[in-house]
Chain A
C-alpha cells in the first residue's frame, strides 16, 4: 500500500516538475510547482516527518508560491512576451538533464545505510528537542538571516522616487529635511 502511494506520488511529482519546465505560461508553471510541492509534502508524511510536511506546505505553497504568483501578475508576464531558446539548445538541455540524472542516480544508488527504528524520528516534539538544544545558535542565526533578507528585499525593491506631497513638506522637521534631499539625489 505504501509502495503504491510512493509510486503514485512520485509520478505526480516528476510530471509536475516536467510541466513546470515545459508549460509556456508562467502561471501554469507556478500551479504545477505547487502540485509538486504538495506531493513532496506527502512524501514527507510517508517518511514520518509530519512537522516538516506541515512547514513545507505553509512555507512553500503558502508563502513562496504566492510571492511568485504575485510577481508574475505584477510584471504581467505571459506566453506571448517570452522568447524561446533555439531547438539545438533545447535538445542539448534535454540531453544534459537526462545524462545528469543517470550519472547522479548511478553514483548515489549504492549509498549505504543502516535501517534504524523510525519511531523516534519525525515528530514535532523530537525535532523541537534537537532544534532547540543542539542547534540553538543556528536557529537564532536563521532568524537574523530572515530579518536581513526582509530588510534587503525592502531596500532593493523600494522606489527611488520619494512621494513627498507639498502638504507634507511643511510638516517635516528640520532634522529630516537634509536626509530627504540626499535620498532624492540618489
Chain B
C-alpha cells in the first residue's frame, strides 16, 4: 500500500482493514448464530476489533490517551462478561436453553 504514513512498512490502512474485518466477523456472528453464548463471544470480538484500532491510532498519532481508553474498555468488557454470564446462567436454569429465538419475551 503506497502511503506516506509508514511504521516498519505498515500503514494505518492495514489496521483499519483488519479491524473492520474482525468487527464484521463479530456482526456476522451476532446475525448468524442462535446460541446466546456465541453471540456474547462475538460481542467480545467486536470490542477487541475496536480496541485494536484504538491502539493503532494511538501509536500512529503518538498519543497515549488511546491506550488509556483501551485499558478502560477492557475493564468494562470484563464487568460486562461477568454480569452477562450470570444472567445467562439464571436464564438457563429457568428455561433450560440459551436459544435466542426462545428468549424473545422482551422483543416486542
Measured CB to CB, the residues of A under 8 A from B are: 2-3, 6, 10, 13-14, 17-18, 20-22, 26, 29-30, 33, 36-37, 40, 43-44, 46-49, 51-52, 55-56, 59-60, 63-64, 67-68, 71-72, 74-75, 77, 81-85, 89-90, 92-94, 96-98, 100-101, 104-105, 108-109, 111, 113-118, 120-122, 126-127, 129-131, 134-135, 138, 142, 145-146, 148-150, 152-154, 156-157
Main secondary structure of the interface of A (DSSP, over half): helix
Q: Does B79 contact A (CB under 8 A)?
A: yes
> How distant is the Cα of A127 from the Cα of B56 in the complex, in angstroms?
15
> Contacts A17-B25, A40-B52 known; A83 to B101 CB distance under 8 Å?
yes
Q: Does B76 contact A (CB under 8 A)?
A: yes
Closest to A58 in B: B74
Is the beta-carbon distance between B67 and A146 smaller than 8 angstroms?
A: no
- Chain B contact residues (Cβ within 8 angstroms of A): what range? 35 or more
Most buried by B among A81, A121, A126: A121
Is the beta-carbon distance between B70 and A101 smaller than 8 angstroms?
A: no
Measured CB to CB, the residues of B under 8 A from A are: 4-10, 12-18, 20-29, 31-35, 37-38, 40-42, 44-45, 48, 51-52, 55-65, 67-68, 70-72, 74-83, 85-90, 92, 97-99, 101
Q: Which single member of A71, A96, A100 contacts B89 (CB below 8 Å)?
A: A71
Instruction: Given A55-B71, A60-B74, A83-B99, output 6 extra A-B contacts at Cβ < 8 Å.
Output: A26-B35, A46-B8, A49-B70, A109-B16, A122-B59, A127-B67
Chain A residues within 8 Å of B58, by CB: 49, 121
Is the beta-carbon distance between A75 and B90 smaller than 8 angstroms?
A: no
